[in-house]
Amino acid sequence: MALTTCKPVTFIGTRNRAAATPFYGDILGLTQVADDPFAVTYDLAGTPLRLTDIADHAPSPHTVLGWIVADIVATANELRDRGVKFEIYEGFGQDELGIWRAPGGGAQIAWFLDPDGNNLSLTQF
């Protein structure tokens, strides 16, 4: 069995499902497909995203989930209008929206946190 042919599932830990659920559903606009005693599951472009209860969850300081977008400025503005605050990191040289542009014109990335402090991102190539 090769894992390259198996459908993935992704997990994000939460200490407070009541706060995280509207963030992923209402603010990010993900479609909820299930809710059980262990997790709320969203459709992430065909991949299940399980928002999993972890009482002592400590978020990673690094990106745990990101989206490739066609227009990072439009997407960042739309999310900001819904209440998302984009992170500005000292010394990165991000613009006023929080978008960092890779030297040489490669990727453009903007980072934001969910209610638990999980680092999420938008990327435009």
Domain count, the chain: 1
- Domain assignment present for residue 19? The answer is yes
- What CATH number corresponds to the domain at position 21? 3.10.180.10
- Domain assignment present for residue 108? The answer is yes
Give me 54's structure tokens: 């972890």
pTM above 0.85, yes or no: yes
- Domain assignment present for residue 25? The answer is yes
- The CA distance from 64 to 78, in Å, is 21
Give the range of the structural domain holding residue 24, as residue numbers without chain letter. 8-124
- Domain assignment present for residue 20? The answer is yes
Give per-residue pLDDT as tens, 8-54.
Answer: 999 999 999 999 999 999 999 999 999 999 999 999 999 999 999 99
- Domain assignment present for residue 114? The answer is yes
- Domain assignment present for residue 93? The answer is yes
- Domain assignment present for residue 3? The answer is no
Contact between residue 64 and residue 110 where contact means Cβ atoms under 8 Å apart: no
Q: Is the pLDDT of residue 1 over 90?
A: no
